[in-house]
């Protein structure tokens, strides 16, 4: 046996990994450094995998090129992140949380509350499990929107999700809002973000308000925000935290 054969098994795992990476690539773990155009390494490959899970066609080669940049910017806009094409460590964690399936990693599945569960007052409440509970005073159709939203509250973010079919593996912003409205019989087919700016009646509603522009759409139902970007922070599309509505056109379903 040659001397080289005797030495090779004794090389540390990290050294073997470095030998396997392309020249100039980094073995940095995911979310340990900012990534941008020109970055290379194992963490870039992980980011590309998450962008792929989000529905973007990205080569998982560990090379941050133009296609990865386009996918990242689209995801940043969807998740209410700074759309500058730089994946900070915070953004990388947010993207991972947004696209991963709820309940993985050994966590027990928690079902949504029963539709008949309500709270007192005029506003709903997002419970500790991330599901929305409507107020008792809300009309039946509003409670149905909440129930439908709960069905997909923790499903992954997926660009274009909810548009080819209602029952999808993930949903983007317009697919999410469309699904919730469809569940209450308020929408027959999915709409894209820009279409929601012209849908329904103009202005804020008493129970449901949809905020839309060409890039994003979210809605507030009985005081609770239903927004894809919320999932990147808490794991659920429902949140009691509101966001600035400047730049969005408010609309609402007729009578609501």
Are the folds of 19-99 and 125-252 the same?
no
Cβ atoms 241, 108 nearer than 8 A: no
Q: What backbone phi and psi angles, to 5 degrees, belong to 119?
A: -125, 160
Contacts for 208 with CB less than 8 Å, ≥ 6 apart: 142, 145, 219, 220, 221, 222, 252, 253, 256
Architecture of the CATH domain 19-99: Orthogonal Bundle (1.10)
Helices 42-53 + 66-78 axis angle, to 10: 50
pLDDT per position as a tens digit, 199-233: 999 999 999 999 999 989 999 999 999 999 898 88
Give the separation between CA 52 and CA 68, rounded to whole angstroms: 10
Domain ranges of the chain: 19-99, 125-252
The pLDDT score that the predictor gives to residue 24 is 60
**Three-state DSSP class for 92?**
helix
User: What is the residue-level pLDDT of the chain in tens, covering all 256 positions?
Assistant: 444 444 344 444 444 444 455 556 788 999 999 999 999 999 999 999 999 999 999 999 999 999 999 999 999 988 888 999 999 999 999 999 989 876 544 456 789 999 899 999 889 999 999 999 999 999 999 999 999 999 999 999 999 999 999 999 999 999 999 999 999 999 999 999 999 999 999 999 999 999 999 989 999 999 999 999 898 888 999 999 999 999 999 999 999 9
Tell me 171's DSSP state: B
Cβ atoms 112, 153 nearer than 8 A: yes
Q: How far apart are the first and last CA of the chain?
A: 81
pTM attached to this predicted model: 0.81
Q: What backbone phi and psi angles, to 5 degrees, belong to 9?
A: -65, -20
Give which of 251, 102, 81 is closest to 170, Cα–Cα: 102
Q: What backbone phi and psi angles, to 5 degrees, belong to 132?
A: -90, 140
Give which of 98, 66, 109, 103 is closest to 85, Cα–Cα: 66
The CATH class, in words, for 125-252 is alpha beta
| Rama region for 125: left / alpha / beta (φ>0; ψ in -120 to 50; rest) | beta
């Amino acid at each position: 046996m040659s001397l080289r054969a005797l030495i090779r098994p004794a090389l540390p795992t990290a050294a073997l990994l470095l030998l396997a990476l392309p020249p100039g690539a980094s073995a940095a773990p995911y979310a340990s450094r900012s990534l941008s155009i020109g970055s290379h390494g194992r963490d870039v490959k992980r980011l590309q995998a998450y962008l792929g899970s989000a529905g973007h066609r990205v080569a998982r080669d560990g090379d941050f090129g133009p296609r990865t940049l386009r996918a990242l910017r689209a995801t940043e806009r969807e998740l209410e992140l700074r759309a500058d094409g730089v994946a900070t460590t915070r953004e990388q964690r947010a993207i991972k949380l947004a696209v991963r399936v709820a309940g993985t990693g050994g966590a027990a599945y928690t079902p949504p509350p029963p539709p008949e569960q309500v709270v007192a007052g005029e506003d709903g409440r997002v419970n500790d499990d991330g599901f929305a509970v409507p107020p008792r005073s809300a009309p039946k159709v509003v409670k149905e929107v909440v129930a439908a939203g709960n069905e997909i509250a923790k499903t992954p973010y997926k660009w274009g999700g909810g548009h080819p079919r209602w029952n999808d593996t993930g949903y983007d912003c317009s697919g999410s809002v469309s699904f919730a409205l469809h569940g209450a019989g308020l929408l027959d087919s999915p709409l894209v973000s820009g279409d929601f700016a012209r849908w329904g009646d103009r202005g804020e509603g008493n129970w449901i308000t949809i905020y839309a522009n060409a890039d994003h759409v979210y809605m507030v139902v009985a005081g609770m925000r239903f927004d894809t970007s919320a999932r990147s922070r808490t794991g659920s599309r429902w949140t009691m935290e509101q966001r600035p509505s400047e730049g969005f056109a408010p609309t609402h379903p007729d009578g609501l």
